[in-house]
């Protein structure tokens, strides 16, 4: 009986052990593996973080267009008369993105400060955290499953 209980505990905690830290990932590993000079590795990694930001912004813009195109009928709510459902939905969506980006910034500052703000890897920890959270947020946005514009 104890063995079954132990196995159950191991199986339930295994997914927790398998999850990666927010400060580590393939992008960081690849830059530091490919570049011979450390400065070039940090520049490579910084470029990947900026690319991640652009990818997220592109997904947000595309999603905003999809919301406006797919919900272009007027609301039945008297206080929102004259506004489309899409305009209201889009406002909330864009507000949520602003709040989410603020959350991401604060979360990644916390993650990177775990090694100390003067540590050499401080910025790379922050950049990898941003990349990791951006990837997951893009997945969340895709779960909205909005039809394409057109």
Question: Is 43 within the bounds of a domain?
Answer: yes
* pLDDT > 50? residue 19: no
SS3 74: strand
What is the per-residue pLDDT across 65-123, written as a single tens digit (0 to 9) for each? 999 999 998 877 666 667 899 999 999 999 999 999 999 999 999 999 988 888 878 88
Number of domains in the chain: 1
CATH number at residue 117: 1.20.1270
pLDDT in tens, 128-150: 999 999 999 999 999 999 999 87
Q: What is the DSSP letter of 78?
A: G
130 part of a folded domain: yes
Q: Answer yes or no: is 75 within a domain.
A: yes
Crossing angle between the packed helical segments 38-70 and 122-142, to the nearest 10 degrees: 20
- Is 1 among the domain residues? no
Confidence of residue 2 (pLDDT cuts 50, 70, 90): low
Task: Let me know if residue 2 belongs to a domain.
Answer: no
Cα 92 from Cα 58, distance rounded (Å)? 18
Average pLDDT of the segment spanning 46-75: 95
Give the per-residue pLDDT at 16. Answer: 39
Whether 148 maps to a domain, the answer reads: no
Domain extent for 70: 23-142
82 neighbors 90 (Cβ within 8 angstroms): no
Residue 38 lies in a domain: yes
Kindly tell me if the per-residue pLDDT of 14 is higher than 50.
no
Residue 92 lies in a domain: yes
Query: Which has the higher per-residue pLDDT, 12 or 48?
Result: 48
Residues, the chain, total? 150
């Amino acid at each position: 009986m104890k063995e079954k209980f132990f196995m159950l505990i191991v199986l339930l905690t295994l997914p927790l052990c398998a999850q990666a830290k927010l400060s580590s990932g393939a992008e960081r590993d690849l830059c530091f593996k490919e570049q011979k000079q450390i400065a070039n590795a940090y520049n490579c990694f910084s470029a990947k973080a900026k690319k991640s930001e652009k990818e997220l912004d592109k997904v947000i813009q595309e999603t905003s267009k999809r919301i406006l195109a797919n919900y272009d009928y007027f609301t039945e709510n008297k206080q929102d008369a004259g506004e489309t459902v899409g305009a209201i939905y889009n406002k909330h969506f864009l507000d949520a993105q602003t709040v989410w980006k603020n959350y991401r910034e604060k979360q990644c500052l916390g993650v990177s400060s775990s090694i100390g703000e003067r540590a050499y890897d401080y910025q790379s920890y922050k950049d990898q955290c941003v990349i990791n959270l951006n990837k997951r947020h893009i997945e969340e946005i895709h779960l909205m499953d909005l039809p394409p514009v057109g």
